[in-house]
């Protein structure tokens, strides 16, 4: 169930250029069911910044009632820049968990899953990978970044399975895009899961069109609960042009070939 709760910052640190890792504690964590869900964070009380920020859940630690999220500071004076200055012991107001995450029970033990993430779309794949590997699914990670200084969680993903990094400028890993790495893979994929910028999602969906997959969409949001219709997307194969899905409450994760990326 969706709850609203002041959650305590138990750890907060910068892990790459403009990328922060924030761990929060509170009973709301117990409501988190599937990887790929997100929370809506009110950074400060009052009207500045006014709206909540949708941030994906990166890992869930039920035992300690805490979860971790990674976010990118979008610029000076932005809400995320204010968030990045909050220290351990402070609280932030969290609404969540929101949306529908990645299904983890579609693949059996021994099958192979390809997890493809781009930039700040990488974090939700971490909890997903933990869940898949705990079921005995073999995971292969392909993570795309702009350049070396924004690469994060390489060790964490590597600990769970094969991990390839691509950077646009070639400063780390393969030079190019995640699809360049997919081209070189010589392995049978039983299912894929992807999260990142729309052009990457489109390319991945096209490249892996013969495989069942799940796509996590990103869009500017208002309410985060499906009421304001800010984050809608078109539906594939809809001739009327009026059919739509809401990224926040119908998604953010959709089966491939359902929504227009």
Partner 1 sequence: MNRLAIELPGLSLKNPIMPASGCFGFGKEYSQFYDLSELGAIMIKATTKEARFGNPTPRVAETSSGMLNAIGLQNPGLDHVMANELPWLTQFDVPIIANVAGSTLEDYIDVARVISTAENVKALELNISCPNVKDGGIAFGTDPKTARELTARVKEVSEVPVYVKLSPNVTSITEMALAVEEGGADGLTMINTLVGMRLDRKTGNPIIANKTGGLSGPAIKPVAIRMVYEVSQRTALPIIAMGGVQDSYDVVDYLSAGASAVAVGTQNFVDPFACPAIIEDLSKIVKEWELEHILDLKGRSWGKHGKTANHRA
In this complex, which beta carbon is closest to partner 1, that of residue 15 or of residue 227?
A: 227
* Residues of this chain that bind partner 1 (CB under 8 A): 1-2, 4, 42, 47-52, 75, 79, 95, 219-234, 240-242, 244, 249
In this complex, which beta carbon is closest to partner 1, that of residue 78 or of residue 179?
A: 78
- Residue 101 assigned as binding residue: no
- Residue 126 assigned as binding residue: no
- Residue 72 assigned as binding residue: yes
In this complex, which beta carbon is closest to partner 1, that of residue 76 or of residue 188?
A: 76
In this complex, which beta carbon is closest to partner 1, that of residue 176 or of residue 197?
A: 197
- Residue 58 assigned as binding residue: no
Question: What is the nearest approach in angstroms of partner 1 to the Cβ of residue 14?
Answer: 22
Question: What is the nearest approach in angstroms of partner 1 to the Cβ of residue 228?
Answer: 6
- With beta carbons less than 8 A apart as the criterion, state whether 222 and 257 touch: no
In this complex, which beta carbon is closest to partner 1, that of residue 2 or of residue 8?
A: 2
- Residue 71 assigned as binding residue: yes
- Residue 248 assigned as binding residue: yes
Residues annotated in a binding site for FAD: 53-56, 70-72, 79-80
Residues annotated in a binding site for [2Fe-2S] cluster: 223, 228, 231, 248
Residues annotated in a binding site: 53-56, 70-72, 79-80, 223, 228, 231, 248
């Amino acid at each position: 169930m969706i709850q609203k709760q002041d959650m305590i910052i138990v750890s907060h640190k910068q892990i790459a250029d403009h990328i922060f890792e924030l761990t929060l504690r509170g009973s709301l964590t117990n409501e988190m069911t599937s990887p790929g869900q997100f929370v809506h964070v009110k950074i400060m009380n009052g009207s500045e910044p006014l709206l909540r920020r949708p941030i994906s859940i990166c890992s869930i630690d039920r035992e300690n009632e805490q979860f971790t999220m990674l976010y990118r500071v979008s610029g000076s004076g932005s809400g995320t820049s204010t968030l990045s200055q909050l220290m351990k012991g402070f609280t932030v107001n969290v609404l969540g968990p929101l949306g529908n995450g990645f299904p983890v029970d579609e693949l059996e033990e021994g099958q192979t899953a390809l997890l493809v993430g781009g930039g700040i779309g990488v974090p939700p794949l971490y909890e997903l990978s933990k869940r898949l590997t705990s079921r005995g699914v073999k995971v292969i990670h392909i993570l795309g970044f702009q350049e070396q200084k924004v690469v994060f969680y390489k060790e964490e993903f590597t600990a769970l399975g094969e991990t390839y990094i691509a950077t646009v400028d070639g400063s780390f890993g393969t030079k190019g895009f995640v699809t360049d790495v997919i081209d070189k893979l010589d392995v049978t994929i039983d299912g894929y899961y992807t999260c990142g910028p729309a052009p990457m999602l489109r390319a991945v969906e096209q490249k892996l069109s013969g495989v069942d997959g799940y796509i996590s969409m990103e869009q500017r949001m208002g309410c985060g609960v499906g009421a304001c219709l800010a984050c809608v997307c078109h539906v594939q194969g809809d001739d009327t042009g009026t059919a739509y899905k809401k990224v926040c409450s119908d998604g953010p994760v959709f089966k491939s070939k359902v929504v227009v990326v």
